[in-house]
Amino acid sequence: MSPRLTTPAALFALLLGLMALTQTGILGQYEQTILSTMGIYMILAASLNLVNGYMGEFSVGHAGFMAVGAYTSSVVGVYLFVPDPFFGQPLLPMDLAYLAFPLILAAGFVAAALVGLLVAIPSFKTRGDYLAVITLAAGYIVKSALENIDVVGGPRGFMGMKKVVMGMEEMISIPWMLIWIFIGVVFTVWILRRFVYSTYGKGVMAIHQDEVAAEIMSVNTNKMKLVAFMLSSGLAGLAGGLYAYLIGFVNPASFTILRSTECLVMVYLGGMGSLTGSILAAAIFTLMLEFLKPLEQLKWVAIPMLLIVLMQFRPEGLMGNRELSDIFPKLKRFYRFK
Amino acid sequence: MLETIIQQGVNALQLGSYYSLIALGYCLVYGVLLLINFAHGDIFMVGAYIAFFCATAFLGHYGLIDAGMPGWIVLALTVPLTMLLTSGVGIFIERVAYRPLRLKGANRLYVVITALMMGIILQYGNLSMLGASRKAFPNLVPRVLFEIGGATVTSLKLASIVTCFLVFGLLQWIVTRTKIGMAMRAVSYDKFAVPLMGIPLDIVIVFTFFLGSSMAGLAGLLYAMNFPVLDPFMGALVGWKAFIAAVVGGIGDIRGAFIGGFLLAFLEVFVAATFSSELRDLISFTILLGILSWKPTGLFGKPRTTKI
Amino acid sequence: MALLEITNLTQRFGGLLAVNDLSVHLEGRELCALIGPNGAGKTTVFNLVSGFYQPSDGSIKIGGVDTRGMKPHQVTALGVARTFQNIRLWNDMTVLDNIKVSQHYRLGYSLMDSLMRTRRYIDREAAIDRTAMELLEFLGMRELANEFPPNLAYGTQRKVEIARALSIKPKLLLLDEPAAGLPSSDVVELIKLIEWIHKEFDLAIWMIEHQMTVVMSLCQWIKVIDFGATIAEGTPEDIRNNPVVIRAYLGDENI
């Protein structure tokens, strides 16, 4: 098989395998939820890695962008397909839901990317820890704005997304959310990989390593920052949209600083500038959350302690800045980098 | 009208004194190590709990000491003990979590993440040890009401404000006039040259954590006396806000942190008074974000020139 | 049209007059030097030319285009490349990537092209890769393509930085102390390299240099500044015997 097709074929087989496992009941509802959560964390970690790992800035407000995506996707979906006391009768029949879902997610992506400007524009002048505070403040601003918008329920939150998912499942009975999240993860990794492996995207790494040299060697640093921040926040918005439809409910309290902290932990646990690392870290982190659930509150003592110990042994993250193909060079035969 | 403004002004000064005390701690550690010590807000929370246990112990609640000590003696004993014990927590965290990473030469962001983790450990460690029930801080000294320009001010409020100014003065003196302060500034300029000049790096760093954490402890005590309800997450929000305040003021400079704390408090109090308390965070953070976009290194921070 | 036309350039930093009423005219193809004692404002002049600072007064025209208000990357796109006093390579990128990223201003494809992997993207990336490899080949550094800069010797890093600047395809190459920190054996090689670059590429070279062997053996024309102002200019012969220059460097003998 030509190397061009190996990866898509493998991914398609993986998706088919997943679906077979769910249909036969080997993967129950519980396992599906864990896998879905893992997928959302993968998107969050990989997208944050673009800014924090590849570009070397310290963004602390990723949950804010996720929130924008979650709310936008929710509102658009409910507006289109679900009768709502505020938005009135649905515009489209529910039968179309599974076709329109990518558009719903795209709306979340675009909205979050636009809110990313809130951070991207100050980043032209502000750097380092000062920029970190801007991202932190932006996260608070988003959360606090959502608390004050009554249309989306204020602090109580917004729901109705479950009906859309149920509508999709009535049309064709497959685990829709798992599939969408799978596609979302593939899409995220695909976009980010193409971006960071292009000479264009490497401008972002040049900014990380020496911004002055980057600007003087003809990299339009402002534009690169804009692209990186918007891409990263847009993908966080995508994760938010998927999260909203997975849980079926969004409220501002889901997008606190703790959520941003989780994203940060996964990026640095995986390694700055390693997509493989982010994916791996997201998987490990989700499993940790799940396996330590019996500890209840002590879980949040045990997990940070484990992470601290881990960092003592690997102070550059699990993967450093290497990718899977650097560790197993033979893999390069199967997929192309250019 | 005027009375309300004065009343709100006093409230803002009081809130600002907690923000400032915490912001100063952030600023000291940052100034010396270029480390955002994200656990600092939670050290403030730990300080409040330590104060609570000290005070109740001295009041004879655990049977360690005979009850009957007058409130002001209890307070006089609680203040230094709280500061000492809290700084012990800060130094312990530095020793077990930050120093090993520093010695390994890890990227400084990994130390920041470790600090974030330490904060979560403190919050949830406290939650699982002491439970979610809130603790009520005992009344140690009788409340005296003063009348200033038609506004009523309690003695405790006044004490918070005065303490904050005194501590700032003391810090300014330590940093600019003493030998150890000079060493701290030297470390912040060049961490590699300092040991070569015969300055013991680790001692300077431990001293910095001692100062920062003991002030967080003091802030925790004052906070607990004024708002006498404690819970494990009280430090997180106050801490984050104080950090933002420190940066807006200009985190390299303790004057910046001091002013930044009061700036944030005034913004919050007056936004809440003129608009509504729901809009408080939204508007005040938007203003702070505006300030940072306008002055990228904060109000007091020196613009960093890149040398080619 | 003149390649570089600096007229009455002045730069103040607060009360400090770093560059004072400086004028320079380069036609193109020259090989010249800017010298002066430490702190004379030489690097500031280069920073102004490359757009890193905005001049307080006066104008800089490159190929007839006034660069006032331009960002450094725009000035670079006009054909001005430079190296730095302290090497500023991107250390976590291979030598090849260093040279490829420096072609950013003429990538010729957009973000969408890079995400969709369009035909234009594939063709342009191939061309960029080829240009970069050819340049390395031409400079005899082909085998270094996949090395990371910190693994290279100091002199080689300097050479890579010059290669990176050349990948801009500059009309004007600014070298900021290319010989700084090099052992004398490498200096000889550097002189040869600069001479060769000047011969092979269609460009003008303007360098700041303290080592007089380099300046005197290479440059046709030398400008000497002190406290931001021109104190002498001319051929190496003129400069060597100019009493004002000697005084600026060595101090007044009457003291």
Q: What is the pLDDT of residues B138-153, one digit of tens each?
A: 888 887 888 877 778 8
With contact defined as beta carbons under 8 Å apart, do B306 and A127 qualify? no
Q: Where are the domains of chain B?
A: 10-232
Identify the weakest region by mean pLDDT among B54-63, B255-264, C10-19, C137-146.
Answer: B54-63
CA dist A8 and A338 (Å) reads 16
The DSSP result for A209-260, as a single string, is H-HHHHHHTT--HHHHHHHHHHHHHHHHHHHHHHHHHHHSEE-GGGGSHHHH
Angle between helices B234-249 and B280-294 (to 10 degrees): 30
Residues A255, B247, A148, B119: what is their CA dihedral angle, to the nearest 10 degrees? 30
H or E stretch covering A118: helix A97-120
Asked if A124 reaches chain B (Cβ–Cβ under 8 Å), the answer is no
**A171: burial class by Cβ within 10 Å (0-12, 13-18, 19+)?**
middle
**A322: burial class by Cβ within 10 Å (0-12, 13-18, 19+)?**
middle
| C86-103: pLDDT as tens digits | 999 999 999 999 999 999
| B235-275: pLDDT as tens digits | 888 888 999 898 888 877 889 999 999 999 999 999 888 88
Report the helix count and the strand count for chain C, using DSSP H and E.
10, 10
Asked if C155 reaches chain A (Cβ–Cβ under 8 Å), the answer is no
User: Using CA of residue B84, residue B90, residue B94, residue B96, what is the dihedral sign?
Assistant: positive
CA dist C227 and C17 (Å) reads 8
Rounded mean pLDDT, B95-105: 88
Does residue A10 have a pLDDT over 60? yes
Look at A338 and C125 and tell me if their CB atoms are within 8 Å: yes
CA dist A70 and A251 (Å) reads 9
pTM over 0.95: no
Look at C101 and A202 and tell me if their CB atoms are within 8 Å: yes
- Give the pairing type, strands C221-226 and C31-35: parallel
Identify the weakest region by mean pLDDT among B76-85, B92-101, B273-282, C221-230.
Answer: B273-282
In this prediction, residue B71 has a pLDDT band, given cuts at 50, 70 and 90, of confident
Q: Which two tokens stand for residue C11?
A: 């730069």
Place of tokens 């092979």: C200
Asked if A106 reaches chain B (Cβ–Cβ under 8 Å), the answer is no
Residues facing residue C57 across a β-bridge = C10
| C139-169: pLDDT as tens digits | 999 999 999 999 999 999 999 999 999 999 9
What integer pLDDT is reported at residue A337 of this predicted model? Answer: 45
Class of domain A3-333: mainly alpha
Rounded mean pLDDT, B3-19: 90
Residues facing residue B145 across a β-bridge = B154
Partner-chain residue, chosen from C73, C102, C111, that has the shortest CB–CB distance to A200: C111
Does residue A264 have a pLDDT over 50? yes
The one-character DSSP state at A84 is B
What integer pLDDT is reported at residue B277 of this predicted model? Answer: 82
Partner-chain residue, chosen from A201, A216, A338, that has the shortest CB–CB distance to C76: A216
Asked if A304 reaches chain B (Cβ–Cβ under 8 Å), the answer is yes
Long-range contacts of A3-11 (CB under 8 A, 24+ apart): A3/A333, A3/A334, A3/A335, A3/A336, A4/A336, A6/A334, A6/A335, A7/A334, A7/A335, A11/A186
Q: Which two tokens stand for residue B189?
A: 């300029």
**C12: burial class by Cβ within 10 Å (0-12, 13-18, 19+)?**
middle
- Give the pairing type, strands B229-230 and C31-35: unpaired
Residues in chain B with CB shorter than 8 Å from the CB of A305 are: 117, 121
What integer pLDDT is reported at residue A338 of this predicted model? Answer: 40
Look at C115 and A194 and tell me if their CB atoms are within 8 Å: yes
H or E stretch covering C208: strand C204-208
| A31-85: pLDDT as tens digits | 999 999 999 999 999 999 999 999 999 999 999 999 999 999 999 999 999 888 7
Q: How far is CA C143 from the centre of its chain?
A: 25
In this prediction, residue C47 has a pLDDT band, given cuts at 50, 70 and 90, of very high
Cα atoms in the Cβ-side hemisphere of radius 13 Å centred on B49: 22
**CA distance readout (Å), C82 to A321, B40, C47, C197:** 29, 45, 9, 14
In this prediction, residue A333 has a pLDDT band, given cuts at 50, 70 and 90, of low
Does residue C28 have a pLDDT over 70? yes
CA dist B298 and B294 (Å) reads 9
**CA distance readout (Å), C17 to A1, A204, A312, C245:** 68, 35, 50, 20
With contact defined as beta carbons under 8 Å apart, do A197 and A274 qualify? no
Quick one: what percent of chain B has pLDDT higher than 90? Answer: 37
In this prediction, residue B308 has a pLDDT band, given cuts at 50, 70 and 90, of low
Residues in chain C with CB shorter than 8 Å from the CB of B308 are: 43, 46-47, 52, 84-85, 88, 176
| A80-136: pLDDT as tens digits | 998 887 888 888 888 888 889 999 999 999 999 999 998 899 889 888 888 888 999
H or E stretch covering A166: helix A161-171
Asked if A94 reaches chain B (Cβ–Cβ under 8 Å), the answer is no
Does residue B231 have a pLDDT over 90? no
The alpha-helical segments, DSSP class H, found in chain B are 2-33, 40-58, 71-93, 99-104, 108-130, 155-177, 179-189, 193-196, 201-226, 234-249, 254-274, 280-294
Does residue B302 have a pLDDT over 80? no
User: Which chain A residue is nearest to residue C115, measuring alpha carbons?
Assistant: A194
The one-character DSSP state at B106 is -
Does residue A304 have a pLDDT over 70? yes
C195 or B186: whose pLDDT is higher? C195
Residues facing residue C205 across a β-bridge = C31, C173
With contact defined as beta carbons under 8 Å apart, do B46 and B88 qualify? no
CB neighbour list of residue A246: distance below 8 Å, 6 or more residues apart: A33, A36, A37, A40, A177, A181
Residues in chain B with CB shorter than 8 Å from the CB of A257 are: 236, 240
Asked if B106 reaches chain A (Cβ–Cβ under 8 Å), the answer is yes
- Give the pairing type, strands B151-154 and B145-148: antiparallel
Residues facing residue C24 across a β-bridge = C6
The one-character DSSP state at A88 is B
| B149-199: pLDDT as tens digits | 777 888 888 889 999 999 999 999 998 899 998 888 888 877 788 888 888
Quick one: what percent of chain A has pLDDT higher than 90? Answer: 60
CB count within 10 Å of CB B193 equals 11
Asked if A222 reaches chain C (Cβ–Cβ under 8 Å), the answer is yes
The one-character DSSP state at C84 is -
**CA distance readout (Å), B70 to B64, B67, B78, B226, B286:** 16, 9, 12, 19, 47
CA dist B276 and C31 (Å) reads 69
Rounded mean pLDDT, A161-171: 89
C169 or A326: whose pLDDT is higher? C169
Residues facing residue C12 across a β-bridge = C17
